[in-house]
A and B are shown apart, each in its own frame.
Chain A
Amino acid sequence: MKKFDLIKLININEEYKSKNLYINLHGIIIETNSDYSNVLFFNESNHGDFAIIKIENKDLSIEKEQLPSEYKNELLNKFKSKNLLNKVKLEPLEIKEFDIVELLVEDEKYTKFGIHKGDTGCVMENYAVQNYILVDFSRINANNEFYGDCISVNIKDLKKIK
């Protein structure tokens, strides 16, 4: 096992679960010794979220694929520019596909689409990207007239209703 190896988590325990890891989650070795590795995991339910978590080597299997060199360089540059080691848990996405949600804020980034505070909509994806998720606020009235739009909304601006 060496730095930048692509791995898969093959065993799970309570500590890993508490960090929202699960079997078969893929990651990248950042540091390693004979017993443990610090592994970079990406959050599949919220693209852009990540965590670096200490994992026993016996709980990892190495994948055949290799990380392309340009990605290795990009990661090295990220580590130079920021301390990423203090992000030790993946954040679960509390809002799921087809949940009904309410918009909690009045904001130009939503009002330009005709969507206002208090409007309700239906979540249309099972993942977010950098905390933004697609919500369909559209409706059809009894006269078959169509209103609203399907837009990206920050999950912190949403409350799950149902």
Chain B
Amino acid sequence: MAAIWWYLQRITGAMLLVLLVLHFWVEHFVSESLRRGDLTYDAIRARIVNPWWQATDIAFLLIALVHGLSGARNMVLDYSRIGRRGAQVATVLLCGAGIVWAWWGIEAFGNLR
């Protein structure tokens, strides 16, 4: 079981690297105003009406959450002595946090769709 997460951490990491470069490019680089850091509602809206961009952004969030919370779980299990039961509780709590967090991020686009 641990081995699956080990590999998943590498695979999600590689995906995040690609998505991060893309994200940086479209939000901070493509135009003069974006290079100044002036990201506006209208600029985001113009991009988000495209369902492919929406799917890309949501995928970015979900993959980042799997990678980040799985990493957080590794740290909790490494630096604490909570035993098997405690590890299960930590896993359930982090999964719950991930679901709420994902919902929170997806809902942010709720009024743009």
The answer to whether A and B assemble together is no
